[in-house]
Amino acid sequence: MPVVPIQLQGKFFRGIQINQGYKKGEWTANFTKTGVTVVDPHGTTKSGNVAIVGQYLVISWTDSTITSSLWQYLAGPETDFFSWAWSTPNGDAPATFDSAMTTAGETEYEFMTCAAGHPCHFPKSS
């Protein structure tokens, strides 16, 4: 059954890609209880169901590819941070966050969102 970690449910994140050969510009990730929608800097949207498999988030995209990913969530006083390292399409999850920075086909992202209960201005991009 698809399920998103509680820390990510209902959260809208803005961020950047940080691996070698990154796409310049802002990425967004919008999580529900069961899935995620990601928009790249060019406006291309990708949606899928999320499952927790061991320590990994596994996304089954609507285009039938699967991404296995490392993730780390850090709650801050006003801003929460989400690090996310993706496998190559249908590949194994990255071995480490460091290796995802340089391994061909793997990608890494750093996202942030406003912490719950804090009045920071963090609008969704249009």
pLDDT of the chain along its 126 residues, tens only? 678 999 999 999 999 999 999 999 999 999 999 999 999 999 999 999 999 999 999 999 999 999 999 999 999 888 999 999 999 999 999 999 999 999 999 999 999 998 877 666 655 554
Domain presence at residue 102: yes
Provide the residue range defining the domain that includes 79.
12-114
Q: Considering only CA atoms, which of 74, 77, 50, 69 is closest in space to residue 61?
A: 50
Q: Considering only CA atoms, which of 37, 35, 13 is closest in space to residue 26?
A: 13
pTM of whole model > 0.85? yes
Our count of domains for the chain comes to 1
Cα separation, 72 vs 83, whole angstroms = 5
Exposed (0-12), middle (13-18) or buried (19+): which is 98, by Cβ within 10 Å?
exposed
For residues 69 and 96, is the Cβ–Cβ distance under 8 A?
no
Domain presence at residue 84: yes
Domain presence at residue 124: no
Domain presence at residue 63: yes
Domain presence at residue 121: no
